[in-house]
Amino acid sequence: MNFIGLLSRLGVDTRGFDRSTLIFPGLESRLALALAALLLVLALVWARSSVSDLSSRPRRFFLIGLQIFAAVLLAGLALRPTIQLASVARVTDRVAIMIDSSSSMTLPAAGGGNRDAEAFKFIERNHEFFDQLERDYLVSWFTFDRDLRELPGRPTAEWKSEGRGTDLMAAVSGAGAAGTAPLAGVIVISDGADTTRLGERFRAGKGGEAVKALLADFPAPVNTVFCGGGGEIRDLAIVSASHDDYGFVHNPFEALVRVRSEGNLAAQTPVIFKQGDRALATKTIALDGGREVEATLSFTPRQVGEFMFSVEVPPVPGELTTANNVVRFPLKVLRDKVRILYLCGNPSWDERFLRQTLKKDPAVDLVSFYILREHWDDYRARQEEVSLIPFPTDELFTEELDSFDMVIWQNFRGAMYMPGAYPQYMQLLNKYVRERGGALLMIGGHRAFFGQGMMDPILVDLLPIVPDDRIPNYLESEFKPVATEAGLRHPVMAIGEAGENPADVLGREPALLGFNRVKGLAPGAIGLVAHPFERSADGGPLPIVAVREVGAGRVAAVMTDSLWVWSMAAAGAGVSAKPYQRFWENTVRWLLQDPEMRLITFSSEQGRVSPGEAVSATIEVLDDTYHPTDRATVKVEVLEQPTGAALTPTEPEPFGVGKYRVTLKPSLPGGYRLRATATLNGRELGHDDLLLEAAEESAEWRDVLPRPEILAEISKASGGVAIAPGGDLKSLSFRRSALEQVTGTRDLPLWDNAVVFALVFMILTLTWFLRRKWGLR
Amino acid sequence: MSDEKKLDRRRAASLLASLPLALGAAVGQAQTTPVAPPVFRRGGMFAPEVPERPSFFFAQMIYGEGLSWNPYPTAGRTLMEVLVDRTSIAASPDRVDLRPSDPKLFYYPFLYWTGTREFAPLPQTDLERLRLYLESGGTLLVDDALSTPGVGFDKAFQREFGRLFPGKALERLPQDHTVFLSYYLIDRIGGRTANRPYLSGYNVGERTALIYSGNDLGGAWARDRNGRWVNPTDPGGELQREQAFRLGINIVLYATCLDYKKDLIHTPFISERRRGKKK
């Protein structure tokens, strides 16, 4: 019932109010309700009983009625009747207009110009439509790629299409959630080149179901305007290259490559697997226009390390873009097994316990050659009665050497067993260590570390010690070696329990039984363990364990053949044999340049940047005693970069002890390899390489074909309309909501005014008067 | 007359002849760490004979009382001389005699245990030392000099083995065990006798740490002071003695090189050699 007219006639100001309602706030109070009900009941009972003495029936009914009316009035007052006036406004719906600003919109559209220019012209050309739309609705304008960004209003100039991916469904969902007013509809202006899983599902022919499911609860129609159609499209693209995260040296590594072609292209194309500019494998595949073709390429890495690889297809004249013709990826090539060549001059307990330790590690592939018989030993049997085999020196050194990660040379006088070709083999060993980065471990005994020119000079040049000319070259005496200052921190000597001082461990272990005499440390070598009182020729402590970095490789020398007592004799003395195992494990790891034991690391938080984007990289340097140092000279050089690029890193800038920062700005797309080298006191501490790829965000460029079918499916699933830029905008679908909003209220209580109280008083007074007059009490 | 009391005259004579040597060894001290006389190897590096520091010692286990632990005082020396002659191992000819309780035991990862007679149980501490010795990398060659199963030394050793490794048993070494191809390719097993033409053993991990011979290898190796063989080798004669030396060499090579001959690089050569041998 509308009381507004009545109230206006009664002089109540009802301007601005559209609606009135009678409400009873007292109904919300249980106490008031209970009181009112009690009052009515009591009134009814009393009304009847209080007029029972009245003989006149009409008078009786009149009094009962009057009394009940009074009770009803009082009960009504308890409910606090109120007339509520309300101002009501209808809500304006909103419309979201989404403009695709991903990089693919910079590609050509039919009729010349780019897709984003076509979109802008569409908006400009239909300005009257958009004007009306803005009058009828609350219109919000957005650009989107992988993210959604609201614009201040309708764009008046072309925007920059730089987005690195396109997520249509996220954009539509974002539009639905942006704003409080109900959504009447969405207009999406795009080329449809979605780079998310939605795009993949459309390629697989299952896009329709996906869109339907995603838009099942969307509250408004999504209209789409397709920009980018028409004209012949030619494009050859590598869609993806799937591969393992790691490769293993000497094991085939495979990459599964998917190639898509569009348009009038050749029937075949080569797919090339490259490292830098070097082609590793090529496969020619037949193109199937519009469909993806798979090819598996493989190669066998021969070096451990991290490298930048790429899979490429050659550009096609006139194709849409060449940015998607190459996929680059860094790959770590690891050892699956450490391959060790173990040459031993004769069986001994030192060899036996080292062999046992190495064989315990399933990651070690041990190839051993022990000299079981000298030339003059007569085994007194026919050859078929012995298991002795020829020592294949030529094959080992000329063919197989590079396949080993490490060579152990134990108590072995090589010249005796490699007559004639021994100098050449030493040249190969030298190259193996210095250039290939191989590891050499030389272990002592009475046939090792000879002076007087009896060792090949090339071999001597590799060693961390200088041989002594004195004879005998091996002295027997019991001694407990001591750790040098460098040995206390060197990772090779981490032979105790966690944090335990190596000196304490050495003090506990059984005494060694003899040592090789050497003149001292070679230049650049570090002594880790020394004789407690014997001195070398230069007056320094006589080294028992020494290490050295030589070119790309590492060499270690152990000047005793009695280290095995740290295993068996230690057990007999009730001392742990673990230091023995740890010593050899650490030595092998250090020789194999375990990354955790490097003295220099070169790293960046970003492995991929956009061409022209600056990136920061960090170099951390330890000295050869494994302490951070800022006394080193650090240099960064570019080892590999794309042709034409001229990357110049900034000078390393210190920013902490042992930490340096460089800034890089790769200008051209492609793979870059940089090397940081640290030198301290004239000695190189080592190097580390950083791989960097400069490329446009690849996701956007993988599939740059315009996809009108995605837009059409979105419109269909949501009840919208899909049109081209020249289509009829009047056909676009929008929803009107019937929502109203109460913008203001005014309450007019009926119970707390004098008129109502006077009325109640009058009735009660009349009742009393009539009762008295008619003889009732 | 029980087996252990049967001694033929030749054996008795050889035992009597070796008595002075045995007494001398018993009176002498066990050597400590090896600052031992050099081994002279024929055709050494620089001259016809050049001293080389010994890297292998024949250690023999002393047990019980008396000399029953040393039936053939020269066996070890003879084997070492043959080892030096035929292989690259610089083995010391001087034997090292040790009790299991000797603190220097663990400096000799090869130990020889032999005897003819039944002996009293070893002290528990000795057994525990021996067990630790084997588990820490030691190799124990046990040689029944009586060459008779179930009596004398064999009976006592089987009892001690049961205490050493309760619940375990010696197992025959398969024909393709590395010990049979560690230097020589061995098809026949014999010592002074060929009563048990096999070796038994007990593994610690993948390594056969205890090797048991029931054919009195030492009896085949032993010479008297005049250089004559102490015992004949029956039934194979001198060929059998040669087999005993080859087996001894193989056992030493196995102890020092473990399964080296099982490396893949050796397999085709060994297979070919075996095929050649069969022809």
pLDDT digits (tens, 9 = 90+) for A213-264: 888 889 899 999 999 876 677 889 998 889 888 888 878 999 999 998 888 7
Interface residue of B49, B53, B188 to substitute, partner A, most A CBs within 10 Å: B53
Q: Do the Cβ atoms of A180 and A739 come closer than 8 Å? A: no
- Mean pLDDT for the stretch of residues B17-35: 38
B54 touching A (Cβ < 8 Å): no
Instruction: Check CB contact under 8 Å for A445 and B55.
Output: yes
- Single out the residue of A383, A367, A386 nearest to residue B181, CA to CA: A386
With contacts defined as CB-CB under 8 Å, which chain A residues touch B55?
Answer: 346, 348-349, 445, 561
Answer yes or no: is pLDDT of B265 > 50: yes
Task: Give the pLDDT confidence of A724-762 residue by residue, as tens digits.
Answer: 888 888 889 888 776 777 778 888 888 777 877 888 889
Nearest residue of chain A to residue B188 (CA atoms) = A385
Answer yes or no: is pLDDT of B4 > 50: no
With contacts defined as CB-CB under 8 Å, which chain B residues touch A352?
Answer: 109, 137, 255-258
Task: Give the pLDDT confidence of A308-358 residue by residue, as tens digits.
Answer: 899 999 998 888 888 889 998 888 888 778 999 999 998 999 999 999 999
- Mean pLDDT for the stretch of residues A269-287: 92
Q: Confidence class of residue B27 from pLDDT cuts 50, 70 and 90?
A: very low
Q: pLDDT exceeding 70 applies to what percent of chain A? A: 98
A445 touching B (Cβ < 8 Å): yes
CA quadruple B7, B12, B15, B19: dihedral positive or negative?
positive
Nearest residue of chain A to residue B35 (CA atoms) = A476
pLDDT for B277 equals 61
Q: Which of A347, A372, A446 sits opposite B53 (nearest CB)?
A: A446
pLDDT for B75 equals 97
Give the phi and the psi of residue A190 in degrees, each rounded to 5.
-160, 170
Give the phi and the psi of residue A7 in degrees, each rounded to 5.
-65, -40
Between A455 and A427, residue with greater pLDDT: A427
A567 touching B (Cβ < 8 Å): yes
Instruction: Check CB contact under 8 Å for B263 and A366.
Output: yes
A265 touching B (Cβ < 8 Å): no
The nearest CA of chain B is from the CA of A580 a distance in Å of 12
Instruction: Check CB contact under 8 Å for B45 and A572.
Output: no
Instruction: Check CB contact under 8 Å for B43 and A376.
Output: yes
B43 touching A (Cβ < 8 Å): yes
Q: Is B7 helix (H, G, I), strand (E, B) or coil?
A: coil
B204 touching A (Cβ < 8 Å): no
Q: Which of B88, B106, B129 sits opposite A568 (nearest CB)?
A: B106
Give the phi and the psi of residue A326 in degrees, each rounded to 5.
-140, 140
Q: Confidence class of residue B42 from pLDDT cuts 50, 70 and 90?
A: low
Answer yes or no: is pLDDT of A701 > 70: yes
Taking CA A590 as the corner, what is the angle to CA A597 and CA A534, rounded to the nearest 5 degrees? Answer: 115
With contacts defined as CB-CB under 8 Å, which chain A residues touch B182?
Answer: 387
Instruction: Check CB contact under 8 Å for A389 and B42.
Output: no
Answer yes or no: is pLDDT of A291 > 90: no
With contacts defined as CB-CB under 8 Å, which chain A residues touch B87?
Answer: 347, 372-373, 377, 379
Task: Give the pLDDT confidence of B209-229 residue by residue, as tens digits.
Answer: 999 999 999 999 999 989 999
User: CA–CA separation, A377 vs B84, rounded Å?
Assistant: 8
Tokens 């024949």 correspond to: B58
User: Chain B neighbours among A 448-477 (CB < 8 Å)?
Assistant: 474, 476-477
Task: Give the pLDDT confidence of A162-202 residue by residue, as tens digits.
Answer: 888 899 999 999 988 888 888 999 999 999 998 888 887 88
Q: Do the Cβ atoms of B49 and B41 come closer than 8 Å? A: yes
Q: Which of B86, B137, B253 sits opposite A353 (nearest CB)?
A: B137
User: CA–CA separation, A469 vs A489, rounded Å?
Assistant: 32
With contacts defined as CB-CB under 8 Å, which chain A residues touch B136?
Answer: 567-568, 571-572, 577
Q: Which of A347, A446, A476 sits opposite B253 (nearest CB)?
A: A347
Token pair of A46, please? 């009393």
Between A282 and A65, residue with greater pLDDT: A282
- Mean pLDDT for the stretch of residues A486-506: 92
Task: Give the pLDDT confidence of B169-198 residue by residue, as tens digits.
Answer: 999 999 999 999 999 999 999 899 999 999
What ranges make up the beta strands (E) of chain B? Answer: 39-42, 49-52, 59-61, 96-98, 110-115, 139-144, 171-172, 199-204, 207-213
A371 touching B (Cβ < 8 Å): yes
Q: Which of A377, A445, A572 sits opposite B86 (nearest CB)?
A: A377
A558 Cβ neighbours under 8 A, 6+ residues apart: A441, A442, A443, A444, A544, A545, A587
Between A629 and B27, residue with greater pLDDT: A629
B181 touching A (Cβ < 8 Å): yes
How far is the CA of A534 from the CAs of A285, A520, A563, A566, in angstroms?
Answer: 70, 11, 18, 21
Nearest residue of chain B to residue A369 (CA atoms) = B260
Nearest residue of chain A to residue B49 (CA atoms) = A376
Tokens 């959630």 correspond to: A177
Task: Give the pLDDT confidence of A639-659 residue by residue, as tens digits.
Answer: 988 888 888 889 999 998 999
User: CA–CA separation, B132 vs B122, rounded Å?
Assistant: 15
pLDDT for A428 equals 95
How far is the CA of B17 from the CAs of A152, B20, B78, B230, in angstroms?
Answer: 117, 7, 16, 9
User: CA–CA separation, A506 vs B169, rounded Å?
Assistant: 39
Q: How high does pLDDT run on average in chain A? A: 88
User: CA–CA separation, B262 vs B181, rounded Å?
Assistant: 9
Q: Do the Cβ atoms of A388 and A369 come closer than 8 Å? A: no
Answer yes or no: is pLDDT of B53 > 80: no
**A68 exposed, middle or buried (CB, 10 Å; 0-12, 13-18, 19+)?**
middle
Instruction: Check CB contact under 8 Å for A378 and B269.
Output: no
User: CA–CA separation, A535 vs A543, rounded Å?
Assistant: 8
Q: Confidence class of residue B268 from pLDDT cuts 50, 70 and 90?
A: confident
B57 touching A (Cβ < 8 Å): no
Mean pLDDT lowest among A287-296, A454-463, A659-668, B269-278: B269-278
* Interface pTM, i.e. ipTM: 0.84
Q: Do the Cβ atoms of A183 and A176 come closer than 8 Å? A: yes
A404 touching B (Cβ < 8 Å): no
Q: Confidence class of residue A57 from pLDDT cuts 50, 70 and 90?
A: confident
Q: Which of B55, B106, B246 sits opposite A571 (nearest CB)?
A: B106
User: CA–CA separation, B62 vs B98, rounded Å?
Assistant: 6
pLDDT for B3 equals 35
Tokens 């029972």 correspond to: A52
- Mean pLDDT for the stretch of residues A434-460: 89
Token pair of B230, please? 């102490």
A571 touching B (Cβ < 8 Å): yes
pLDDT for A21 equals 86
How far is the CA of B266 from the CAs of A414, A658, B131, B273, in angstroms?
Answer: 21, 50, 32, 11
User: Chain A neighbours among B 139-178 (CB < 8 Å)?
Assistant: none
Q: Do the Cβ atoms of A502 and A530 come closer than 8 Å? A: no
Q: Do the Cβ atoms of A710 and A195 come closer than 8 Å? A: no
Q: Which of A366, A372, A478 sits opposite B33 (nearest CB)?
A: A478
What is the CB neighbour count within 10 angstroms for residue A639? Answer: 13
What is the CB neighbour count within 10 angstroms for residue B25? Answer: 18
The nearest CA of chain B is from the CA of A391 a distance in Å of 11
Beta bridge partners of A654: A660
With contacts defined as CB-CB under 8 Å, which chain A residues touch B184?
Answer: 379, 381, 385-387
Token pair of A221, please? 């129609």
pLDDT for A43 equals 80
The nearest CA of chain B is from the CA of A540 a distance in Å of 27
Q: Confidence class of residue A375 from pLDDT cuts 50, 70 and 90?
A: confident
Token pair of A711, please? 């837009």
Task: Give the pLDDT confidence of A563-595 residue by residue, as tens digits.
Answer: 999 999 999 999 999 999 999 999 999 999 887
B47 touching A (Cβ < 8 Å): no
pLDDT for A347 equals 93
Q: Which of A345, A356, A366 sits opposite B137 (nearest CB)?
A: A356
Instruction: Check CB contact under 8 Å for A387 and B137.
Output: no
Interface residue of A356, A358, A372 to substitute, partner B, most B CBs within 10 Å: A372
The nearest CA of chain B is from the CA of A386 a distance in Å of 4
| DSSP designation for A411 | S
Nearest residue of chain B to residue A392 (CA atoms) = B265
Q: Which of A372, A383, A568 sits opposite B138 (nearest CB)?
A: A568
Name the amino acid, one letter, at B44: G
User: CA–CA separation, A669 vs A323, rounded Å?
Assistant: 9
In total, chain A counts a number of residues equal to 777
Answer yes or no: is pLDDT of B25 > 50: no
Q: What element of type H or E holds A762?
A: helix A754-773
Q: Do the Cβ atoms of B183 and B249 come closer than 8 Å? A: yes
Task: Give the pLDDT confidence of B67-92 residue by residue, as tens digits.
Answer: 999 999 999 999 999 999 999 998 99
B265 touching A (Cβ < 8 Å): yes
pTM beyond cutoff 0.90: no
Task: Give the pLDDT confidence of A24-44 residue by residue, as tens digits.
Answer: 888 887 887 888 888 788 888
A136 Cβ neighbours under 8 A, 6+ residues apart: none
